[in-house]
Amino acid sequence: MFSYRHYISIQSEGLFHKVIFVGATLCYFSPIRSVIDYFWAKIWLMSNRVKNALYTMILLVTMFAVYKYRQTGKTGSMIHFTGQTMGPIVYNVKYFDLESRNFKTQVDSVLEVFNQSLNTYIPNSEISRFNKDSIFEYLLPYLQTAVEKSHEIYEETEGAFDPSIGPLINTWGFGYTDEIVIDSAVIDSLKAFVGFDKLRLAKDQISKTDVRAQLDFSASAKGYAVDVVLDLLKSYGVSNAFVEIGGEVAVAGLNIEKGEPWKIGILHPNSTELETIYHSIIELTDKGMATSGNYFNYQIIDGVKYGHTISPQTGYPIQHELLSASVIADDCHTADALATAFMVFGLDKTKSFLEKNPQYDAFLIYSSNDGGMKTYGTPGIEDSVKPVD
CATH number of residue 185's parent domain: 1.10.3980.10
- Tell me whether residue 366 is in a domain: no
The sign of the CA dihedral 157, 158, 161, 162 is positive
CB atoms within 10 A of CB 209: 12
The sign of the CA dihedral 292, 293, 298, 302 is positive
Instruction: Name residue 268's amino acid.
Output: H
Say what the pTM is. 0.77
From 73, 95, 111, give the residue that closes a domain. 73
Query: In the prediction, which pLDDT does 237 show?
Result: 96
Instruction: Name residue 162's amino acid.
Output: D
- Tell me whether residue 170 is in a domain: yes
Q: What are the pLDDT tens digits along the chain (389 aa)? A: 433 333 333 333 444 444 444 454 544 455 555 655 665 566 556 666 665 666 667 666 666 554 444 444 455 789 999 999 999 999 999 999 999 999 999 999 999 999 999 999 999 999 999 999 989 999 998 999 999 999 999 999 999 999 998 778 777 766 555 555 666 777 877 888 888 888 999 989 999 998 889 899 989 999 999 999 999 999 999 999 999 999 999 999 999 999 999 999 999 988 877 788 999 999 999 999 999 986 654 444 444 444 567 888 887 887 788 999 999 999 999 999 999 999 999 999 999 999 999 999 999 999 888 878 999 999 999 899 999 97
- Tell me whether residue 219 is in a domain: no
From 38, 56, 73, give the residue that closes a domain. 73
Cα 60 to its chain centre, rounded Å, is 37
Closest CA to 269 of 279, 261, 259, 256: 279
- Tell me whether residue 93 is in a domain: no
Kindly state whether residues 69 and 126 are assigned to the same domain: no
- Tell me whether residue 274 is in a domain: no
Kindly state whether residues 69 and 130 are assigned to the same domain: no
From 167, 191, 208, give the residue that closes a domain. 208
- For the chain, how many structural domains are there in total? 2
- Tell me whether residue 243 is in a domain: no
- Tell me whether residue 347 is in a domain: no
Phi and psi, residue 287, nearest 5°: -140, 165
Kindly state whether residues 69 and 125 are assigned to the same domain: no
- Cα–Cα distances in Å, from 48 out to 6, 18, 43, 213? 17, 14, 10, 85
The sign of the CA dihedral 43, 47, 48, 53 is negative
CA dist., res. 23 & res. 203, Å (int): 69
Kindly state whether residues 126 and 200 are assigned to the same domain: yes
CA dist., res. 97 & res. 99, Å (int): 5
**Residue range(s) defining the domain that contains residue 30:** 4-73
- Cα–Cα distances in Å, from 111 out to 119, 161, 224? 11, 24, 11
Phi and psi, residue 244, nearest 5°: -135, 130
- Tell me whether residue 353 is in a domain: no
List, for residues 185-223, the tens digit of each pLDDT value: 778 778 888 888 889 999 899 999 988 898 999 899 999
